């Protein structure tokens, strides 16, 4: 210890105090600070004694105990099992059996129609719900996460990614994501309702023309029903056109979401106007036999992006 107006200092291995007093000079100050720094590495160490807090137990007792089991980290990587389709199975039933969403079974197995399910098929069954996303161009995980409104870390963990950059064509599993509602209804066969309940008298495809006897392609289905029976909108949409033609007679064309259109011909009465929005199941017209017709029925067409398709593939 040094005093008498200059400075006082005291050092030991565990404590140090430095006082600046009258007469202290820079040289001595630097020497003192340097000495403190040399002691710094050995100053901060625990005092001898048990590894415990006041009133507690020695933590080495817990470290040596076999009763404490640390939880395993949660594995969020998507894993697959295989299921063989049995007679009577449905996509929704299989989804329920494995506690997955219908979207998951459809997306992971690439179904375009629920009607293509067959006994003996082998399906991939993931251990969590979600859908498959295929990058159309190089993109980042963050961009995909923003598209599906989920955290990017969930995509990285589910797919075991080592890079946040995704190349074009790479499939990714998106946890808990859903298919667009229209797509799901389309694949599951519930996109459209029947516009009228009746008997199919002419199918989609090649047929013998009822007037000329020639083989022609019929681009719709004909549904026979009593004259004046109600025709309802099979899907919500907007009335794109109404009118009369020598072939179709009185007709209605409706425009729906995702590029779908429907046409109804040979009506006796049109009950909607062009530009009108119509909800599913709303009355739009009545069965008739106007135009090129052999009896009361509705000529029902479905078009997707301008291409005529078989209505039976999209009706329940």
The predicted pLDDT at position 230 comes to: 98
Mean pLDDT of the chain: 85
Q: Domain containing 173 — which CATH number? A: 3.10.350.10
For residue 65, tell me if it sits in a domain.
no
- Rounded Cα distance, 48 and 32, in Å: 28
Question: Looking at the structure, do residues 233 and 171 belong to the same domain, yes or no?
Answer: no
Residue 64 counted as domain residue: no
CB 194 within 8 A of CB 315: yes
Question: In terms of domains, do 306 and 204 share one?
Answer: yes
Give pLDDT, residue 313. 85
CA distance 254 to 271: 13
pLDDT digits (tens, 9 = 90+) for 197-256: 999 999 999 999 888 889 999 999 999 999 999 999 999 999 999 999 999 999 999 999
Quickly list DSSP for 260-314: EEEEEEEEEEE---TT-EE-TT-EEEEEB--SS-SSSEEEEEEEETTEEE-GGGS
End residue of a domain, out of 167, 188, 209: 188
Residue 32 has pLDDT above 50, yes or no: yes
pTM for this model (two decimals): 0.62
Q: Are residues 152 and 223 in the same domain?
A: no
Asked, for residue 132, whether it belongs to a domain, the answer is: yes
Q: Are residues 182 and 214 in the same domain?
A: no
Task: List, for residues 177-208, the tens digit of each pLDDT value.
Answer: 999 988 898 888 888 999 999 999 999 999 99
CB 231 within 8 A of CB 284: yes
> Within 13 Å, how many C-alpha atoms sit on residue 30's CB side?
3
Burial letters for 44-70: b for 16+ Cβ neighbours within 10 Å, e otherwise?
Answer: eeeeeeeeeeeeeeeeeeeeeeeeeee
Per-residue model confidence as pLDDT tens digits over 103-159: 999 999 999 988 899 999 999 999 999 999 999 999 999 999 999 999 999 999 999
Same domain, 175 and 207: no
Going by the DSSP 8-state scheme, the letter that residue 246 receives in this structure is T
What residues contact residue 116 under an 8 Å CB cut-off, 6+ apart?
none
The pLDDT, as a whole number, for residue 25 is 58
Q: For 33-86, what is each residue's pLDDT tens digit?
A: 566 555 555 444 444 444 444 444 454 554 455 555 555 556 789 999 999 999
179 and 264, same domain (yes or no) = no
Number of structural domains in the chain: 3
Q: Which domain holds residue 158?
A: 80-188
């Amino acid at each position: 210890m040094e005093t008498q107006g200059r400075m006082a200092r005291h050092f030991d291995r565990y404590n140090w105090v430095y006082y600046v007093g009258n007469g202290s000079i820079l040289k001595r100050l630097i020497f003192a600070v340097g000495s403190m720094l040399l002691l710094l590495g050995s100053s901060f160490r625990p005092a001898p004694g048990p590894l415990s807090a006041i009133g507690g137990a020695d933590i080495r007792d817990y470290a040596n105990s076999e009763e404490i089991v640390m939880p395993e980290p949660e594995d969020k990587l998507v894993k697959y099992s295989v299921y063989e389709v049995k007679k009577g199975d449905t996509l929704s039933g299989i989804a329920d059996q494995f506690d997955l969403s219908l979207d998951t079974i459809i997306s992971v197995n690439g179904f375009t129609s629920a009607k293509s399910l067959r006994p003996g098929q082998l399906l991939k069954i993931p251990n969590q719900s979600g859908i498959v996303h295929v990058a159309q161009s190089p993109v980042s995980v963050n961009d995909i996460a923003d598209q599906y409104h989920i955290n990017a870390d969930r995509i990285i963990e589910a797919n075991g990614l080592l890079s946040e950059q995704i190349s074009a064509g790479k499939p990714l599993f998106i946890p808990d994501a859903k298919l667009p509602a229209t797509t799901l209804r389309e694949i599951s066969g519930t996109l459209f309702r029947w516009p009228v309940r009746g008997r199919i008298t002419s199918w989609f495809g090649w047929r013998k023309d009822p007037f000329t006897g020639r083989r022609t392609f019929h681009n719709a289905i004909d549904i026979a029903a009593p004259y004046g029976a109600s025709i309802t909108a099979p899907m919500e949409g907007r009335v794109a056109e109404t009118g009369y033609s020598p072939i179709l007679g009185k007709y209605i064309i409706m425009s729906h979401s995702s590029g779908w259109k429907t046409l109804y011909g040979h009506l006796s009465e049109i009950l909607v106007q062009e530009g009108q929005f119509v909800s599913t199941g709303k009355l739009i017209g009545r069965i008739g036999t106007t135009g090129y017709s052999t009896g009361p029925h509705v000529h029902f067409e479905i078009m997707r992006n301008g291409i005529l398709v078989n209505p039976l593939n999209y009706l329940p």
